[in-house]
Amino acid sequence: MNRTFVAIGSICALLSVALGAFGAHGLKEVLTPNMLANYQTGVQYQMMHSLGLIAIGLCASILPAGGHLRRAGWFMLIGIILFSGSLYVLSITGITALGAITPIGGIAFLLGWLFLALAAWKSPSES
């Protein structure tokens, strides 16, 4: 599990950098300032949670690799796809109905952090 989330997090971080560069150089003249800000929010949250995925993978070597840690990683990945992904598509296409998906991704992010906290809290204490 630790290698899986480190690899997924690293790929998501790579994509975040690429999407950020695309937004800064390719979309700056195309999108309205509001839509560009939405796009950049997606990039920022993707990077933050990519680092969270990497941290989860690294935590797997010191915390019991139980269900809480796995759930944390999968919820963060779902959050990246739904939250950031919906902001990217919304910004580029203008399809406002996708805005309804964004909060679901935000809830997935929250659940990811909650399950990471539970994994740490429920791990055996150090002696």
Q: Which residue has the tokens 């204490």?
A: 125
Query: What's the number of domains the chain is made of?
Result: 1
Mean pLDDT of 42-63: 94
Q: Can you read off the two tokens belonging to residue 48?
A: 């933050």
| Within-domain flag for 24 | yes
| Within-domain flag for 25 | yes
| Within-domain flag for 88 | yes
Q: What is the pLDDT of residue 126?
A: 59
| Within-domain flag for 127 | no
Q: What is the pLDDT of residue 125?
A: 63
Residues 11-49 pLDDT 10s = 999 999 999 999 999 999 999 999 999 999 999 999 999
pLDDT greater than 80 at residue 68: yes
| Within-domain flag for 126 | no
Q: Which domain range does residue 14 map to?
A: 2-121
- Supply the Cα-derived Rg of the chain in whole angstroms: 16
| Within-domain flag for 105 | yes
| Within-domain flag for 64 | yes
Per-residue three-class SS string for 45-111: HHHHHHHHHHHHHHHCCCCCCCHHHHHHHHHHHHHHHHHHHHHHHHHHHCCHHHHHCHHHHHHHHHH
